[in-house]
C-alpha cells in the first residue's frame, strides 16, 4: 500500500493539490472542516468554494502574469482550470465562472477519484508524522492557527494583512526621486541608499491630505473585525486624526536631502522601500489603505515622482491568516522545523484564487516526488509559478513580508529589452514566451 498524502483544507489550493497527487498515483485524504465548522465567508460545504468574486481575472497568457499562471496550470492538467473553462461565463478578457457549478464540478471530480477521500472535520493540531499539506487559507480555524503559532512563534503568523501599494521601479521618475536612507543610516552604501524618496512642497502636501480625506473607501467584509492596530493604521485614518499626522509619521521630511534641489527643504517626503531581491518592486512605506482601487491610483499618482507609476499591486487591509514563509519554509515549501508538513495556498502569503491554486499544484508535485523518492529539478523563477514560489520562500523581504499577487515584477528581467511604458508589450511577450518554454521543460523533466 502506498503512503498517503493528507491535505488540510479543501479550498482552492487543497483541491488542486489533491487532484495533482491523485493523478500521479498517490492516495489522498482531504480533511475539510466545512460544513461542520464554518467561516464567515464560506456559504457551502463544497470544495473549492469561491468566497467572493467569481473571477479568475485576466485570461491573457501573453500580456498578463495571472493569465500566464492559468496557462501553466492548464499545461499541468490542473483540475481548477479545467472546471473554470467548463463553467466559464462571458466576461470580456477575464475568466469568470458560474461559481456553484465550478465548485460542484471540482467536488464531484475529486469525490469520484478512486484515490481521493474526503474526511469531514476540523484538524486542530499539527500532525507529527506522515506527509501533510496545510492549505487552510486566509480563514484558517482558530484552533489550528494557535497550533501553528505555537510552532512558528507569534511574530510569524499574521491574522490581518496590511498591504502598502507596490510600484514597478521602471515607472518611477528618477529626475524627481532619489535614493537615500534617513540620516544615511547603515554600514554599507546599499543600506545608506535603501529607500527611494519623493518630496512634496506645502501645497502638494495639503492637496494630498484633501484627496486622502475625500477618497472613496472600502468597508471591511461582514464578519471581519476592524482589528488593525496603531502600528498599521490606514493612511487615510492617520490623515483623519489630524492634517499634520502623516508629516510626523510615514511622511516626515527629516534626515533627507534632495540632490535635485539641495537648497529646498521638502515639506513632506514619501518613502519607498525595495520589496524584492530583484529590485524591480518598491512598496510605499506605511501606506496601507482601505481606499478603493480607483481612488488609490489617482491619489498616489499625485505624489511627485509617481505621476506615471505603474502599480504591481494596490494597497489593502483584510482579515488574512498567513505565515512568514520567507523565514519558515524551505524551497520545497516544507516547514523547516517539521519537514513532513508543507504549506500551500493563501496561508503561504500569496493572494488570490489563482495564485493559491498554483501553490497547491506545486506543493503536491513536490510532495509526490518526495514520496516517490525522486527530486524535481528546481523550478525556474522565469515561470509564473516559479516566480511566485521564489518570492515567498526567499525573494521577499522577510521583515516586511505581506501577501503578493503574481505580477511581472517578480520575474527576472529579459536582457536587451526596452524599459518603461513604451517597451511594455514586447517585454511582457518576452516574459511569457520564456516562461512557457521553461514551464514546458520543467514539466517534461
Ligand X SMILES: Cc1cc2nc3c(=O)[nH]c(=O)nc-3n(C[C@H](O)[C@H](O)[C@H](O)COP(=O)(O)OP(=O)(O)OC[C@H]3O[C@@H](n4cnc5c(N)ncnc54)[C@H](O)[C@@H]3O)c2cc1C
The annotated binding site for FAD is made up of 9-14
Minimum CB separation of residue 34 from ligand X in Å reads 4
Q: Tell me the CB-side half-sphere exposure of residue 139, using CA atoms within 13 A.
A: 19
Tell which positions 258-317 bind ligand X, by CB under 6 A. none
Query: How far apart are the C-alpha atoms of 443 and 441, rounded to whole Å?
Result: 6
Closer to ligand X at the Cβ: 164 or 357? 357
Single residue of 5, 22, 24, 33 touching ligand X by CB under 6 A: 33
Single residue of 29, 51, 89, 232 touching ligand X by CB under 6 A: 51
Indicate the Cα dihedral angle 420, 421, 423, 426, nearest 10°: 130
Asked if residue 13 binds ligand X (CB under 6 A), the reply is yes
Asked if residue 97 binds ligand X (CB under 6 A), the reply is no
Single residue of 5, 7, 12, 281 touching ligand X by CB under 6 A: 12
Ranges of H-type helices in 293-423: 293-300, 325-328, 353-371, 384-390
Closer to ligand X at the Cβ: 324 or 356? 356
| Interface characters, 316-355, with ligand X (x: CB under 6 A) | ---x-------------------------xxx----xx--
CB distance 4 to 348 below 8 Å: no
Burial class (CB in 10 A: 0-12, 13-18, 19+), 30: buried
Q: Tell me the CB-side half-sphere exposure of residue 267, using CA atoms within 13 A.
A: 15
Q: Which residue's Cβ has the minimum distance to ligand X?
A: 11
Which residue is it, cell 484538524? 123
- SS3 state of residue 121: coil
Closer to ligand X at the Cβ: 52 or 445? 52
- Binding segment (CB under 6 A) for ligand X, from list 46-54, 251-259, 270-278, 297-305: 46-54
Tell which positions 192-231 bind ligand X, by CB under 6 A. 221
Which strands sit side by side in the sheet containing 55-58, from one edge to the other? 55-58, 94-97, 88-89
Give the residues lining the site for ligand X (CB under 6 A).
Answer: 8-14, 31-34, 39, 41-42, 51-53, 122-123, 135-141, 144, 221, 319, 345-347, 352-353, 356
Amino acid at each position: 500500500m502506498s503512503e498517503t498524502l493528507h491535505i488540510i483544507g479543501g479550498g482552492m489550493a487543497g483541491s488542486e493539490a489533491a487532484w495533482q497527487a491523485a493523478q500521479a498515483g498517490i492516495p489522498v485524504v482531504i480533511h475539510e472542516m466545512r460544513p461542520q465548522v464554518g467561516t464567515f465567508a464560506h456559504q457551502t460545504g463544497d470544495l473549492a468554494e469561491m468566497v467572493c468574486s467569481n473571477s479568475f481575472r485576466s485570461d491573457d497568457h501573453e500580456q498578463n502574469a495571472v493569465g500566464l499562471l492559468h496557462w501553466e496550470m492548464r499545461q499541468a492538467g490542473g483540475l481548477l482550470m479545467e472546471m473554470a473553462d467548463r463553467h466559464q461565463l462571458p466576461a470580456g478578457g477575464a475568466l469568470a465562472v458560474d461559481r456553484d457549478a465550478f465548485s460542484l464540478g471540482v467536488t464531484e471530480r475529486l469525490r469520484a477519484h478512486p484515490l481521493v477521500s474526503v474526511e469531514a472535520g476540523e484538524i486542530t493540531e499539527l500532525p507529527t508524522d506522515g506527509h501533510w499539506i496545510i492549505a487552510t487559507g486566509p480563514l484558517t480555524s482558530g484552533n489550528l492557527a494557535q497550533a501553528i503559532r505555537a510552532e512558528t512563534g507569534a511574530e510569524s503568523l499574521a491574522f490581518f494583512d496590511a498591504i502598502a501599494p507596490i510600484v514597478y521601479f521602471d515607472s518611477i521618475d528618477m529626475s524627481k526621486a532619489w535614493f537615500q536612507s534617513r540620516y544615511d543610516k547603515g554600514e554599507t552604501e546599499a543600506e545608506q541608499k535603501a529607500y527611494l524618496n519623493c518630496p512634496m512642497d506645502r501645497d502638494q502636501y495639503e492637496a494630498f491630505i484633501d484627496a486622502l480625506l475625500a477618497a472613496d473607501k472600502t468597508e471591511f467584509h461582514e464578519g471581519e473585525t476592524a482589528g488593525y492596530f496603531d502600528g498599521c493604521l490606514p493612511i487615510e485614518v492617520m490623515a483623519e486624526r489630524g492634517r499634520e499626522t502623516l508629516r510626523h509619521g510615514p511622511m516626515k521630511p527629516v534626515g533627507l536631502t534632495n540632490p535635485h534641489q539641495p537648497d529646498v527643504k521638502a515639506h513632506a517626503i514619501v518613502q519607498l522601500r525595495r520589496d524584492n531581491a530583484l529590485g524591480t518592486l518598491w512598496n510605499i512605506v506605511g501606506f496601507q489603505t482601505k481606499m478603493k482601487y480607483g481612488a488609490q491610483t489617482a491619489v498616489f499618482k499625485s505624489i511627485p515622482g509617481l505621476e506615471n507609476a505603474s502599480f504591481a499591486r494596490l494597497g489593502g487591509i483584510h482579515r488574512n491568516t498567513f505565515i512568514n514563509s520567507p523565514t519558515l519554509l524551505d524551497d520545497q515549501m516544507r516547514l523547516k522545523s517539521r519537514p513532513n508538513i508543507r504549506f500551500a495556498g493563501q496561508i503561504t502569503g500569496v493572494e488570490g484564487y489563482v495564485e493559491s491554486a498554483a501553490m497547491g499544484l506545486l506543493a503536491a508535485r513536490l510532495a509526490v516526488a518526495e514520496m516517490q523518492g525522486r527530486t524535481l529539478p528546481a523550478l525556474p523563477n522565469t515561470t509564473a509559478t516559479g516566480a511566485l514560489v521564489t518570492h515567498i520562500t526567499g525573494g521577499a523581504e522577510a521583515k516586511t513580508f505581506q501577501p503578493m499577487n503574481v505580477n511581472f515584477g517578480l520575474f527576472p528581467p529579459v536582457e536587451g529589452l526596452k524599459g518603461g511604458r513604451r517597451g511594455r508589450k514586447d517585454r511582457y511577450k518576452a516574459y511569457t514566451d520564456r516562461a512557457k518554454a521553461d514551464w514546458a521543460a520543467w514539466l517534461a523533466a
